[in-house]
Every structure is written in structure tokens, then in C-alpha cells.
Chains A and B, each alone.
Chain A
Amino acid sequence: MIAGLAIKSLRNRRFTAGLTVLSIALAVLLLLGVERLRHESRESFAATVSGTDLVVGARSSPVHLLLSVVFHIGNASNNLRWETYRAFAARPEVAWTIPLSLGDSHRGYRVLGTSTDYFEHLRFGRDRRLRFAQGHAPESGHDAVLGADVAQALHYRTGQSVVIAHGAGDVSFSLHEQHPFKISGVLERTGTPVDRTVHVSLQGLDAVHEDADADAADPLAAALRDGQTDAAGEPRAITAFLMGLKSRSTALGMQRRVNEYTAEPLTAVLPGVALQEIWEITGAVEKTLSAVSMLVVAVGLAGMLVALLTSLSERRREMAVLRSVGARPSQIFALILGEAAVLTLLGIALGVIALYAGLILGRPWLESRLGLFIMVGWPSAYEVALMAMVALAGVLIGLVPAWRIYRHSLADGMSIRI
């Protein structure tokens, strides 16, 4: 009875009710959207290193090592010796290793020296492996494989030649022009930093630096002596390597073994742990965003409060009529509270619909521009809790006009004063 009245009353005031619902919906959209992007960006970062048990590099902070080696943010400070890499790669508990050598760039994109193990063993997301959109893995030291973004942005196709430069800048004065690479393949999009990377072989990279080193006019190349090939055609040093273990339970033991390695100072990073440290750093920004979106929710609900309160004076007559046909003051109270509840629930429902529509429509853009892979799944328990919180806040706010009209209807009775 009362619920029916509440809905019919709102339908009668559908314009103001609609605006109220819209403002609550937008607030809920922002609240859930911020939470969803926060969650998905973390998922996306975690997905980038999902298959890797340990990241090993020269001694530095774990966060710095992970950011520079895996996410290509900042530069690794030191290299580690090739023998060290070989020693760990040969250990029985190790399933696979991927050597990584950074420090050069191609037109603003990082150049990564690695082995064919990279294309074989690297996993991202939910156990996804790298696949080629065009061409194939490098077969010689002069082949290069491009990430999807690089190929798209620079309009490269297989068979073309690229020249790499020392240093990470877009404009470098030290081009290794004598030693161009031929593009052997382009990778499918992964939504990870792989998309923005030029992959070459370690041998090819060292050959470049050898050539450059022969050119005495290039003073920067001298700094790269460490990276040169030894007599056996193997590099002397790499920046870092990724490690996959046969059993993840040995990861902590292996991390200790690496960190206590005596031949040279090393750092091994459990990617999940280092990411956690990063999230602690970014947490303050996220908390600010959450606080702002909660304030927006408060504003939306305050709008509802204003709309309900302003309607009350013109509805005192309606309440008197309802009282005359036998409505109890508590039912009048429930009517107004019910209207607040209906407005809030409609707002939440519309906000969720808008969120999902936005995710589905915005997914390609987020993938290509931000490298964020969004899973459009059911709301998480936390999101449901957020929605419940908004619903509860809406009902609590509805208590204010409901209480006022309750007081009015007790005082007015059936007398109508307009």
C-alpha cells in the first residue's frame, strides 16, 4: 500500500525525481568507477609479471628494480655478470630464465636485449603467452621484434630496418647507424609494457655496441664496455633476468640465495611483494580520489534531501488527506522514507548500469591508451559494500524529511492549512 503510493508519488514528480536519481547515479558511477580503475590498474600491473617468480638484478631497491626492469620506468643502475646469470639459470629448482639488457632506445621506445626464451616463457595476465601478429621470433642477431604499440605508432611492418640509439631519450646523439636491425615480427597486443618495447637479441645488441666502440669518436659507447661480448660470443653482462621456478614454494629460498650471493651484490624481487610496496606509495592518491568520490556521493544525497524537503510543504495537504482515510503517522513516515529509498536505489542501479556501459564502451580506449586491461565482471564484494553504504546513507538521509513530515502530520492531524 505505502510502497505503491511512494512509487506513484515519485512518478507524478518524475522530473525532479529523475534529476535526483541522475545526480545519485553520477555520484555512484564516480565512486565505483574510481574503485574499479584502481582495482583494474593494480590487476593490470600484477598481470604484467603474473608468470614471473623472481626478478633478479644488481643490488638496488626492490621497487626500483621492478619498475625499471619490468615496467621500464627509470633506469637500472648497474649490470650483473653473465656468469652469475648462468650460475642461477643452471640451478635445479629453476624452470626457466629470461635475460634482459636495457639501456638503448628506438625513437623513444625502449630497446630490450633478450634471448628467444623471452618469447617462449614470458607469461602475462592469466597465463597468456606472447603471440605474433606478424612474422616470427628473431632467428639471427640482426632481427628485431616489435611490440604492438611500437609497430602501430611508427607504422612499421616486418622486413623493414630499424636503427637503435644509446640512451632512453627520444632524441639521442649516438645512433648506432652502422648496425641496423631487420624487423622479423610484430607481437599481438598484451596490455603490458611489452607493447611499447623493441626486442632484439643480446648478441645483436652487443654487436651494435662493439661497432660503436670501434668508433673512437663516440665517447658514450665507452661506457658500455661492460656489455660487450666475450670471446665465446656471449655477453659479459646483462641488466637483469626474470626467473620462473618449478615450484613457487621455493621462491623465498631462492630470493635469499640470490640476496646472499657472495660473488657480486644482487637483489631478487618477488614481484607481488614489490608491487605491494608500490601500492603503499600510491595509496595516498587513491585515498584522496576515493574521498573526493565519496564527497560527490554526499552531494548527490544532499540534493535528494533538498528535493524531498522542498516538496514537503506542498505535500502537507496530501498527508492530511491520507491521515483522514486512516493512514497512521508511522505510515506517513514510511511513505517519505520509502520515496528516499526508491530514489537512492534507482540512482545506484542507474549508476551501475552506466558504469558497465562505460567499461564496455571504454574498454578499447583504456587498453590502447593506458594499457589497462579491464575485466568486465560482476561487482566485487567491496563494490557491493560501497553500494550498500550509499543505499544506507540514502535511507538515513530520508529519515530527516520523514521525521519532519511525521511531526507535521501529528501536529496538523487532518486540518489543512494552506
Chain B
Amino acid sequence: MSPVIDLSNVRFTWPGAVSATIDIESLRVGQGERVFLRGPSGSGKSTLLSLLAGVLTPDSGEVRVLGMDVGSLGGAARDRFRADHIGFIFQMFNLIPYLSVVENVCLPCGFSASRRARAEQSGGTVEKEAIRLLAHLDMAEDSLLRRRVTELSVGQQQRVAAARALIGSPELLIADEPTSSLDADRRSAFLDLLFRECALTGTTLIFVSHDASLEPLFDLGISFAGINRAPQAIAHGAAA
């Protein structure tokens, strides 16, 4: 089986920076794996995620996601590839403030026909699928659904973001410090829900965090500093 993520000899330098932020010889993640990517903030993790998402393209080397050389695609094709295959959860402020909870969850289906099709196959309609996912994340109460997203607690917002990342069953879910604004109890509850959903759909999970205490929960732990040969101090300065 081909790996979901396969990086080889990837180098990326931010425009204007003296040295590379990313210099990774090899990184492979198999299908369905739950990977913990550990590294201090500002070390270039977000740059790596942007490369995986096709928002950035490497200066050299190959970034293969689901067998596709993302860097070789054109801009519009990369955006479509991301919409179709990758779900994202960010650290905070994941939600569009002027959309309702359900509209926020449905958002990726507006940009990806294939995720829309899969969501409809699973739930009947995109909205029903959104509510089903929210229910799995303990977020289906009417009073919660009707609330403005800005009035939700941070933990609730992160669960809505998780539902949005999961809708339409993307093959890859990238979570960038999704739990760093949650307290310990909520953190483990959130991770349980996330793992359960990923397991149900066979979704590969890349979980980025600087909090090493979470690492034992994952199949695989990767130290970002261990795979990235770029000098960290300078990379930090360049990426900030």
C-alpha cells in the first residue's frame, strides 16, 4: 500500500530568508496512522503543513500526498486537491464568525464535489451529515446548534472544527495544535472523539503539538527537529 504522505529531499526557503526553513530527507506516513509531530512553536511545523496542503510548493524535492506529487500540480488543482482530500483543524478561531454551526461544518462541501458526494452518501444530505458528525462529538443539542459560533466555548468551537474537518471523509486530517487552548480534561475528551471518528473512516491523522505529554496516545511520534535538517534558530527567525 502506498503511503498517504511521502516526502523525499524536500527543501523550502521563505522568500527573503537566508537559509531553508524545511529540509527533510524523508517522511512517510501510512494509511490510517495516527502520527504525533512534536516540535517547539516557530520551528517550521506550520510551513511543513502548508507544504502538505499544497498552499506552498517545495523549492526542490517531492511532496507526495495520496500518491500525488502536490508540487507538480497547478495552483487551482492544488486547491481542489486540498478541498477534496484534506481536513484541517487549527489551534483556535477555526470558525467563520458569520456562519451558523451547521454552515461552518458544511463549508468544505461547498468547495469539494467529492466530499459533498461522500457526505450525502453517508448522511442523506450534507446538513444531516453535519448534524450526525456533531452528534458524535456531543454537539448536536438544539441550543448549541442555534448559538452563534462566537458564543461557543473554545472546546465547543474545536469540536465544530473537527466535524468540519471530518465531513465528507477526507483521507487526511491535519490538526495544528488543536488542543493547546483546551484544559487537560477537555483535551483528552477531544482526542478520544477525534480518534474515534478517524478510526471509523480510516482517516490518517497528522497531529502537531509542542505538548509531548500527548505523544503516548499516538501510533507514531515524530520529532520535528529529528527529521528537519534545517538549522532551527535561523529557521525560526525566518518563519516568524
- What is A's interface to B at a CB cutoff of 8 Å? 1, 5, 8-9, 11-13, 317-318, 320-331, 413-416, 418
User: Which of B83, B90, B99 is close to A326, meaning CB atoms less than 8 Å apart?
Assistant: B83
A325 near B164 with CB under 8 A, answer yes
Chain A residues, Cβ within 8 Å of B90? 320-321, 324, 414, 416
The residue of chain A having its C-beta at the shortest distance from the C-beta of B161 within the complex is A321
A326 near B75 with CB under 8 A, answer no
Number of B residues with CB within 8 Å of any CB on chain A:
30
Given contacts A327-B79, A328-B75, contact A414 B95 (CB under 8 A): no
- What is B's interface to A at a CB cutoff of 8 Å? 46-47, 49-50, 53, 55-56, 75-76, 79-80, 82-84, 88, 90, 93-99, 103, 107-108, 110-112, 164
Secondary structure at the A interface, as helix, strand, loop or mixed, is helix
Q: How far is the CA of A5 from the CA of B84 in the complex (A)?
A: 20
Q: How far is the CA of A324 from the CA of B164 in the complex (A)?
A: 11
Q: How far is the CA of A1 from the CA of B112 in the complex (A)?
A: 11
Given contacts A8-B98, A413-B50, contact A329 B75 (CB under 8 A): yes
Given contacts A326-B83, A326-B112, A328-B79, contact A321 B94 (CB under 8 A): yes
The residue of chain A having its C-beta at the shortest distance from the C-beta of B50 within the complex is A413
Chain A residues, Cβ within 8 Å of B95? 321
Enumerate the 10 nearest inter-chain pairs by beta-carbon distance, A residue then B residue, closest first: A326-B83, A12-B98, A413-B55, A326-B111, A324-B88, A328-B79, A325-B108, A1-B110, A413-B50, A8-B98
Q: How far is the CB of B140 from chain A (nearest CB, A)?
A: 21
User: Which of A13, A317, A318, A326 is close to B108, meaning CB atoms less than 8 Å apart?
Assistant: A326
Q: How far is the CB of A392 from chain B (nearest CB, A)?
A: 27
A326 near B80 with CB under 8 A, answer yes
Q: How far is the CA of A326 from the CA of B111 in the complex (A)?
A: 6
Chain A residues, Cβ within 8 Å of B80? 326
User: Which of A11, A329, A415 is close to B46, meaning CB atoms less than 8 Å apart?
Assistant: A415
21 A-B residue pairings within 8 Å (CB atoms): A1-B110, A1-B111, A5-B99, A9-B98, A318-B97, A320-B90, A322-B96, A322-B107, A323-B79, A324-B82, A325-B110, A325-B164, A328-B79, A330-B76, A331-B111, A413-B50, A413-B56, A414-B49, A414-B55, A414-B88, A416-B90
Please name 13 further chain A to chain B contacts, defined as beta carbons within 8 Å, in addition to the given A5-B99, A329-B79, A414-B55, sorted by A numbering: A8-B103, A9-B98, A321-B96, A323-B55, A325-B107, A325-B164, A326-B83, A326-B84, A327-B111, A414-B88, A414-B90, A415-B50, A418-B93
Q: How far is the CB of B25 from chain A (nearest CB, A)?
A: 24
Chain A residues, Cβ within 8 Å of B111? 1, 325-327, 331
Q: How far is the CB of B3 from chain A (nearest CB, A)?
A: 22
B76 near A328 with CB under 8 A, answer yes
Chain A residues, Cβ within 8 Å of B103? 8
B53 near A414 with CB under 8 A, answer yes
The residue of chain B having its C-beta at the shortest distance from the C-beta of A330 within the complex is B76
A416 near B93 with CB under 8 A, answer yes
Q: How far is the CA of A1 from the CA of B75 in the complex (A)?
A: 20
User: Which of B50, B76, B84, B98 is close to A414, meaning CB atoms less than 8 Å apart?
Assistant: B50
Q: How far is the CB of A415 from chain B (nearest CB, A)?
A: 5
The residue of chain A having its C-beta at the shortest distance from the C-beta of B78 within the complex is A328
Chain A residues, Cβ within 8 Å of B99? 5, 8
